Structure 1
Amino acid sequence: MPTAWRLVHKKYMHSAFSGQGARLAGGRWNAEGHAVVYTAGSLSLALLEIIVHLEFKEALKLYKAIPVDIPDSLLQSIDPAKLPDGWSASPPQPCTQFIGNCWMERLSTVALRVPSAIVPNESNYLLNPAHPEFSQIKVGEPIDLPVDPRVLERLA
């Protein structure tokens, strides 16, 4: 059972697992209009995923980290070798959004393991809040985001 991590700005804690942020903005694995919850396979990867999108380094202090246990029976994986060339390009490509949208619409599993575009040998986990077994995901207690001050010093 993998433990994934979700970093959430304090003002969005009430809706941390609704998928509404991704529904409004879209993302690598979902087009606008599709609610999905993005999590990372480690706390450090979750931090990197936030840092690459962060405009103000001081905003990191406003985030909480939430552990999420995903039962193996609720998990499907994408084989990175089968992804098309350019899947990790920025901005996100329609090909990965199509993959994620199809997975969500099929409701085949609660979670989908996908490669990270930042560190392709590591995994992110998409969670489908519309899946009927979504409640089987075990969401832990939020903790303060432990960031070494040296990280903040090096961010522009």
Structure 2
Amino acid sequence: MSWDVASVGGVTLKGIFWRMLAPRWSYDPLSGAGAARAGGRWNEQGQAALYLSETHAVAIAEYQQDLPRPGTLTGYEVEASSILDITNNAVRTSIGIDVSFLKQAWKQDRDISGRRPACWDFVRQVADQGWTGLRVPSAQGPGNNLVLWHWNTDGGADVRVIDPASDLPRNQSSWISRI
């Protein structure tokens, strides 16, 4: 299947976004390696992605996904252009996706049916056409997410972790008390 993403313009987003970090990996808050290992709704396996949320509540809901676990809520300053905004109904209609596409059971396709999720084909096409990322509705409740495939590189989004007191660990063992 092919989607007509060339027919729509991108948006520029600038502001503070949020992400929950697993404590074990909080020393590397700009990594998209975890998303690349498993794949996600908006990135195929092997494709690094940085998933950010527009609010604290959405970041927490996305991280927990019905599995309460500890995490570190972290803020990010982001300036990103060439973002395909599929929270916009007119954009979705123009490119040929609907609400059911946004909510597809991609994990069931991948894990149970052994099929490649259609959302991965969409993401591959969009990324291959030079988009920096997507603005998407959260599948966990009201609110939106920003999914970046290109950041802190030429042509990518500018992303900076907000950590003025250097509270985040610097390596995987630095948060362990040495008393």
Give the TM-score, by structure 1 length: 0.71
Equivalent of residue 46 in structure 1, options 52, 59, 69: 59
Cα distance change of structure 1 residues 53 and 98 upon mapping to structure 2, 3 Å threshold: farther
Cα distance change of structure 1 residues 15 and 46 upon mapping to structure 2, 3 Å threshold: same
- Structure 2, unmatched stretches of 5+, are 1-13, 110-116, 169-179
Q: Could you tell me whether the CA contact under 8 Å between 2:54 and 2:144 is conserved in 1?
A: yes
The CA RMSD measured in Å over matched residues stands at: 2.7
Q: Identity across aligned pairs (percent)?
A: 23
Q: Could you tell me whether the CA contact under 8 Å between 1:112 and 1:126 is conserved in 2?
A: yes
Report how many residues are paired: 137
Please state if 1:65 is matched with 2:88: no
1:1-156 to structure 2, matched below 5 A, reads 1-52=14-65, 54=67, 57=68, 59-60=69-70, 63-71=71-79, 73=81, 75-81=83-89, 82=92, 83-84=97-98, 85-92=100-107, 94-109=117-132, 111-119=133-141, 121-129=142-150, 131-134=153-156, 136-141=158-163
Q: Could you tell me whether the CA contact under 8 Å between 1:18 and 1:129 is conserved in 2?
A: no
- Structure 1, unmatched stretches of 5+, are 145-156
The residue number in structure 1 matching 2:176 is: none
